[in-house]
Structure 1
Amino acid sequence: MNYSRQRADPRQHLVGISFVFLLHVLVVYVLVTGLGKKVIDVIRAPIDTRVIEEIKKPPPPQEMLPPPPKLEAPPPPYVPPPEVQIAAPPPVQAVITATPTPPPAATTITPMAPAAPPAPRAGPVSAAAHCSKMAPPEAPGLDFAGKISLTMRAMIRGNKLVQADLVAGSLTGATDRKTQRLLVNAVTSAMLAYTCSGDNIVVEQQFDFSY
């Protein structure tokens, strides 16, 4: 194999020259179309610059000064009193004038008049003299045989009989208390139902009935 001939082959040189030429053409194209400018702008991007301020230290605390001392005025100098004694004026005596006190007025005590004696109370009168309607008593249903006689006394006050009381009586045959009470109640109710006229008049009425 002939190496000298292989090195002197002009076709290999032509290929190298063509590659270099195409490389230059590509570079020129890039510069013409502006791609190179973009690359340069990226490289020339603005640099952000900041000023860092110095941290200020806080001011030192203010020193509290003590208050100024109070200066008191010195006491006045002692001045001894003069030795000359001045006589004090005599005390003024108050003149007391005695005013005579008039004697107290005589108190006249008038004796009170004695109270009028109460009017004498009229004696009892018959109820028929002042009562126009006198219904007989209703005899209670009692199972006994006897004779009853009762005297009742009452007061007419304001045209009405009030306060009827038993003053005398005889209940023959009525020995038990219940029978006696029923008879007295029947007579009392009948008398208080009388129709009367007058005021402060004492009347009496006697009731007689038998069983």
Structure 2
Amino acid sequence: MSRSTRERLWSLGPVLLLAASAGMALHPVYGTRSTVPVVVVAAIAPVLLVVAERAAGPRRVPLWRSLLVSVAALILTGCATLYRADALAGVLPTLAGLRRMADDLVDAPHRILTTVLPVSGEGTPLVLAHACVWLAAYVGAELALRTGTVLLPALPALAVFGLALPLGAAGPGSAAVPAVGFAGAAGALVVLRAAAPAARGPRSRWACR
């Protein structure tokens, strides 16, 4: 593992916190008690997966392969946490479970916007939070390791935060605390990325490796 890669690994902490803060902005939608475990798993697991891929060997894993592994892990984790009743042995996805997960993911925004918040129900529509936070953490981690940009790794979490605000506008509580956490994590990301050598070189700044 090169020195630049090791230095970029430090920025994965703020990336994880950005995804978690964005996910917690959804707490007016689901209620804090239901949101926390989903966000914790969906923010930590994909970052650990990216780190494990980098630590597995000296050769960098192709992006397409990393994406396939992450999508498979997203589905497996979702089945093990939100769809245990439809999963084989409570963990492995089944056809019925995959179909229900896909249906719930498509239906979740409509149900949130047409229901008095916080919404209730296992799996539906918590799968939306699981998928959004997972993708924000995974894409942010990949951008942090494969590019030398300073703020680009924060954009996926920012998109989730922007989605969470209108969805939870009618719910109890506010997004003030998650917003403070998001701002703090973004500041830490800027400090760590700006200090990395790769962030100073104009040619390597936008190169995706």
- Shorter-chain TM range is under 0.3
From the two aligned structures, give the one with the greater helix fraction: 2
Higher-strand-fraction structure: 1
- Bigger CA radius of gyration: 1
Relative contact order (C-alpha < 8 Å, sep 6+): which is higher?
A: 2
TM-score by length of 1: 0.22
